[in-house]
Amino acid sequence: MKRLTSWVESANNPDTDFPLNNLPYGVFSTDEGPRCGVAIGDLIVDLCLLEEEGVVLISGEPVLDAPFFNEMMELGPKVWAELRARLTDLLILDGDDALSGDPDLLARALISQEDATMHLPIVVTEFTDFYSNRHHATNVGTMFRGAENALPPNWLHMPIGYNGRASTVVISETEIRRPWGQLKPPGQDMPYFGPSKRLDMELELGTILGTGVKMGQPVSVAEADQMIFGYVLLNDWSARDIQAWEYQPLGPFQSKAFATSISAWIVTAAALEPFRTEAEAREKPLLPYLCETKPMLYDISLEMDLTPDGDEQPTTIARTNYKEMYYSAAQQLCHHTIGGCQMNTGDLLGSGTISGPEPQSQGSMLELSLGGKQPLTLTNGQQRAFLEDGDTVTMSGHAQGPNYRVGFGHCSGKIAAAIAQPDWSK
C-alpha cells in the first residue's frame, strides 16, 4: 500500500510513527479531562470535540465522549471501518475540508502531542498472557527444566497462557515499583521474604479485543481475527526469583501480578493489514480448530532500550520481530474460547515474550544475560544481569511500508525501589 498524503505536514515525514496510513487511537488530556483522540504526525485530533461538532458521526448516540474507547469498539468492525474512513477523508490532502477549512475548529481540535498527557486508552476488562514464542519458550525452559524438557509436551499443540491481573495494567511512563515476595535461593531449605533481586522485562505485543463472545460460545480462528480491534506494545514485568519458587505447579502468580505496561496508542488491525505474514512451518500438525485460513502474523520490527538512572544515552539491548511468533493472536483468542470462556470488549491478550533466534534478538533479560551468568555491558560501561533501581526500559516498534511506517510510539517504565517493609505486627 502506498503512503497516503495528508495536509498535516508532519504526517508526511517518512520517519514518523503516525502517518495517515496509521491513525492510532489514544486517550489524552491537556487542561480538560481525558478524552478520545487519534494521532496524526506530531499532533492529536480531538475526537470528542469532532463528535460534539457533528463532524464525526458514527452512531445514534455519542460514543467518543468517554475517556476510553470501549463504547466505540463494542459497535463492531463495520463502525470501526466507517470511523477510519471518515478520519482518512478529513485528514487526507484534498479531502473533505470540514476540519481543515474551519480555522476555529482547527485551532481547538488539533493538539501537540508534546502538550498532552496520555492515559490508558481502554478500560482493561481482563488480562491473559501467553507463552507463544518458540525461541523464548525453549530458552527459558532450558534454564528452568533442562534442554531435554525445555518445551512442555503440549507446547507444539496449543497456545499456553495464564490469567493475569487487569488491575495492574498501566500506561507507558508509569513508575514500576520493585516487588516484594518469597525468595528461595538454590541450596536453601527455606524461603525468605524480600524485594526481588532478579527483576526483568518482557517484550510483547498486546492484543485488544473490540468485540466479545458470550459464555459457552467458542469461535474459530477466522472469527477471532475479526474480533481484534488493534494492538499495543506490552511489557509484562517479571520477578524471576519469585517466579522460580512459585510457578510450579500452577504457573506465575505474584511474580507477574505487580505491573504490566502498555503503550498509549492502539494501532488498529486495519492499519496493519498490509503487513500480514505467514507463521513458520509447524513441526507437528495443529488440530483443525487452530488452523489458519490466511496469514495471521505481522511483520513488525521491535526494539528494546535500557537507560540507567542519570544517563542520557540508552543502550539498545534487543531487536526482534513479531513474525517470530509460533501462534498468532487469532489462534490465542480462538483457543481461549474453546471451553466456553466469555470474552469481553476491552480484554487484553499478551503475545508472550517475542524473541528471535539470535542472542541479541531475545526479549527478556533472563535470556539476554543467560539467567544472570553473562551480564550485558551497557553503552556507559555499566553491566546488567537484571534490572536495577532507576533503570528505564523503553520498547518501540513499527511496520515498514514504502516511504512510510506504521508505528506504535513507545512503551516505557522506570524501576523504583521497593517500598519499606511493612510492619506485620499491625
Quickly name the fold that domain 127-297+323-360 has: Fumarylacetoacetate hydrolase; domain 2 (3.90.850)
Q: Which has the closest alpha carbon to 378: 325, 314, 318?
A: 314
Give the pLDDT score at 111. 98
The model carries a pTM of 0.97
For the chain, domain boundaries: 9-119, 127-297+323-360
Active site residue 336: no
Give the whole-angstrom CA distance, residue 228 versus residue 209: 5
Relative to beta strand 199-200, strand 238-239 is antiparallel
What is the architecture of the domain spanning 9-119? Roll (2.30)
Block residue for cell numbers 512510510:
404
Each residue's pLDDT, cut to its tens digit, for the chain (426 residues) gives 899 999 999 999 999 999 999 999 999 999 889 999 999 999 999 999 999 999 999 888 899 999 999 999 999 999 999 999 999 999 999 999 999 999 999 999 999 999 999 999 999 999 999 999 999 999 998 987 888 888 999 999 999 999 999 999 999 999 999 999 999 998 899 999 999 999 999 999 999 999 999 999 999 999 999 999 999 999 999 999 999 999 888 889 999 999 999 999 999 999 999 999 999 889 999 999 999 999 999 999 999 999 999 998 999 999 999 999 999 999 999 999 999 999 999 999 999 999 999 999 999 999 999 999 999 999 999 999 999 999 999 999 999 999 999 999 999 999 999 999 888 887
Distances (CA, A) of 360 to 29, 222, 255, 384: 37, 34, 25, 14
Q: What is the dihedral of CA 67, 70, 76, 80, to 10 degrees?
A: 30
Give the pLDDT score at 192. 95
Catalytic pick from 136, 335, 336, 410?
136
3-state helix, strand, coil in the chain (%, to 5): 25, 30, 50
Q: Can 9-119 and 127-297+323-360 be said to share one CATH topology? A: no
Give the pLDDT score at 147. 82
Give the pLDDT score at 344. 98
Contact 48, 33 (CB under 8 A): no
Whole-angstrom Cα Rg for the chain: 22
